Amino acid sequence: MLSGNRFDIVLRNLSGSAAEVEAACVALRGTGFVNYYGMQRFGKFLDNTEVGVALMYKLRINSSKQLLNESNAKAGTMAFTLRSMDEERTAKAGIGECVTHNLFTPYPVFMERSGVHVAHFKTTLLLLPGGNKKATGLPLPDYFVSEKTLGEENAAILAEEAEKAAKAAAKKAAKKAKKNKKK
Summarize the confidence of residues 88-112 as an average pLDDT.
Answer: 84
Q: Are residues 128 and 99 in the same domain?
A: no
Residue 104 lies in a domain: yes
In this structure, what are the phi and psi dihedrals at residue 121, rounded to the nearest 5 degrees? -110, 135
Q: Is the same domain home to 67 and 48?
A: yes
Polymer length of the chain = 183
Pair 72, 131 in one domain: no
> Which residues face 133 on adjacent strands?
126
The answer to whether 94 and 72 have CB atoms below 8 angstroms apart is: no
48 in the same domain as 116: yes
Task: Work out the average pLDDT over 119-136.
Answer: 72
Q: Phi, psi (5° rounding) for residue 91? A: -60, -40
pLDDT band at 55 (very low <50, low <70, confident <90, very high): low
Give the tens place of pLDDT for each residue, 153-175.
888 888 888 888 889 999 999 98
Dist. CA 125–CA 108, nearest whole Å: 21
Q: Are 51 and 100 part of one and the same domain?
A: yes
Residues 58 and 71: their CA atoms lie apart, in Å, by: 18
Residues 49 and 88 occupy one common structural domain: yes
Asked, for residue 39, whether it belongs to a domain, the answer is no
Question: Which domain covers residue 168, as residue numbers?
Answer: 124-139+151-182
Give the residue from 101, 94, 4 showing the smallest Cα distance to 55.
101
Evaluate if residue 126 carries a pLDDT over 80. Answer: no
CA-only gyration radius of the chain, Å:
30
Summarize the confidence of residues 111-137 as an average pLDDT: 72
Whole-angstrom distance, CA of residue 167 vs CA of residue 77: 47
